[in-house]
Amino acid sequence: MHPILTRNNVKVLGEGSQVIMFAHGFGCAQSSWKFITDAFLKDYKVILFDYVGSGDSDINQYDKQKYATLEGYACDVIDIIEALELTSIIFVGHSVSSMIGMIAALQIPEAFKKLIFIGPSPRYLNDGDYIGGFNANDIETIFEHIAEDYVGWSKQLAPVVMDNPSRPELSDFLQECFEATNPSVALAFAMATFKADYRDKLNNLEVPSLTLQSSNDIIAPLSAGEFIHKNTPENFLVVMKATGHFPHISEPEETIREIKDFIEEISLKSASDHLYAS
């Protein structure tokens, strides 16, 4: 097996030829996609992986300097693409992986067919008229809590970001994902995430993209999704009925439907009142 595939715990599944790659967000691993991947196995070649430092990746390959920025994580994506000789990829990124996927697509646009952003944000920090959802004190407090008591912080965070109080089992699943992440890696990933600002890169994206925005998301507010939509060529925005930052866990059927509609260009040809074309 190629060393990159071992390093990133890459799984290649499915019966189809069209490649769809799922990239997990902060504090998670490829297991976070478990509620939606079965729906793609018949018609797609499904690529799952863990970023170095997450899930069952090779922690010995973790490089603090490399993964101090999102570009380091984008290198993981590109390495996997090159190792598997993938082309015409549909890339589905959750949360911070939306911008990681964009970075990769800016570097090798010829490898990508479409990008799907679930709960994306080009910048989490508020800046003048731009509302990213957090101020500087909020972010510093997050870093402090992760450093002092990552497990305790994750227990408090999980139900808030899941935002489905009637289904506590979803928060429990998310908490288990968080707790499987090395605290020092989590802190470094959080710092790379919350300090990032990719607003000025959006206009350079040549690959068609979809922004899937939950109707209520404390991590990535609608203002962030709208900013991406307005500043990215060929970006489409869908505001979902799902609430919380993890619609692929809380509302898998709706998430699957929106992903497939975009891939198959069903909604793009309709006058759906929840989809806005650039």
Q: Could you tell me the maximum CA-CA distance found in the chain, to the nearest angstrom?
A: 50
Rounded Cα–Cα distance for residues 4 and 243 (Å): 35
Which is the catalytic residue, given 32, 54, 57, 95?
95
**Bridge partners of 45?**
19
Our answer to whether residue 31 is catalytic in this structure is no
Our answer to whether residue 95 is catalytic in this structure is yes
Name every residue whose Cβ is closer than 8 Å to that of residue 249 and which is 6 or more positions away in sequence: 32, 35, 162, 170, 173, 174
Tokens read off for 89: 């990829």
Which is the catalytic residue, given 217, 229, 261, 267?
217
Tokens read off for 205: 């994206």
Tokens read off for 278: 């650039």
Which is the catalytic residue, given 57, 245, 248, 261?
245
Our answer to whether residue 17 is catalytic in this structure is no
Rounded Cα–Cα distance for residues 59 and 232 (Å): 35
Q: Active-site residues: which are they? A: 95, 217, 245
